[in-house]
Amino acid sequence: MSRIVLFGAGGRAGRRILAQARARGHDVLAVMRHPHAHPDIDGVTGDVTDVADVRRLTAGSDAVINAGASMDVPPDQFFSASTHALIGGLQTRRLLVIGIGTTLEPTPGIRLVDTLDFPDEAKPFTVGHALELELLQQSPSELDWVVITPPPVVIAEHAETGPLLVSAGPELLHSSDPTFTYTDLAVATVDEIDNPTHHRTQIAVVRN
């Protein structure tokens, strides 16, 4: 059993990760900025962009997961602040971050967000995640991070999961099964805690 701190536990990804980790017997501290908005979740108040909160809440943990996001501030500001706070305040080596599929590369060196037909209105959130990745790549070598990246389209309504295929890099994987759920993402995330396989890299996950 691992002691896990989960930031963003009230979100679509966070809820599934919380359920998956607890189902496997892990001790999970669910952290949310506004716990009162999620009365069905047993959790605590905390802000992943606040280095003091990160330092306090992650003390004694084996791994930390950041599934947090915010619609209240520009994405580049949020992801920059959260990544700086995690790098500066984390009290454990292992950090798992939930990425976004539009940062993956359909061809080497070319991200989806950089393609000609990518909609402008969708760029800010992707740019924020790309900045997050860049900051992690520049972080001290003792930080054992991994960015777990789902496909560009994730289905929220379905709880089913299936066999998963994981890449060892930012390659956009192709699958014969286009269905990918937040439960799939949760399984891949907790798998990486149970069996740490990837280190200081971005990985992609699809249905196999």
Domain boundaries along the sequence of the chain: 3-207
As a whole number of angstroms, the distance between CA 200 and CA 194 comes to 17
As a whole number of angstroms, the distance between CA 198 and CA 146 comes to 6
pTM here? 0.95
Helix axes 12-23, 182-194, angle to 10 degrees: 50
DSSP string, 48-59: TT-HHHHHHHHT
Do 49 and 76 meet the contact criterion of CB atoms below 8 Å apart?
Answer: no
Do 113 and 165 meet the contact criterion of CB atoms below 8 Å apart?
Answer: no
Do 54 and 86 meet the contact criterion of CB atoms below 8 Å apart?
Answer: yes
- Confidence band (pLDDT; 50, 70, 90) for 166? very high
When mean pLDDT is compared across 83-92, 154-163, 175-184, the lowest value belongs to: 154-163
* Mean pLDDT of all residues in 193-197: 97
> How many degrees, rounded to 5, is the angle at CA 118 between CA 117 and CA 120?
115
**What confidence score (pLDDT) does residue 167 get?**
86
As a whole number of angstroms, the distance between CA 46 and CA 31 comes to 6
Q: Is the pLDDT of residue 41 over 80?
A: yes
Tokens standing for residue 98: 């939930």
Sheet containing 63-66, strands listed edge to edge, beginning at the edge strand earlier in sequence: 43-45, 27-32, 3-7, 63-66, 94-98, 144-149, 201-207, 164-166
**What confidence score (pLDDT) does residue 8 get?**
98
As a whole number of angstroms, the distance between CA 183 and CA 15 comes to 9
Find out if CATH 3.40.50.720 is the number for domain 3-207: yes
Q: Is the pLDDT of residue 116 over 80?
A: no
DSSP 8-state secondary structure symbol assigned to residue 129: H
* Mean pLDDT of all residues in 93-121: 90
Do 22 and 65 meet the contact criterion of CB atoms below 8 Å apart?
Answer: no
**What confidence score (pLDDT) does residue 172 get?**
85
Q: Is the pLDDT of residue 136 over 90?
A: yes
- Confidence band (pLDDT; 50, 70, 90) for 208? confident
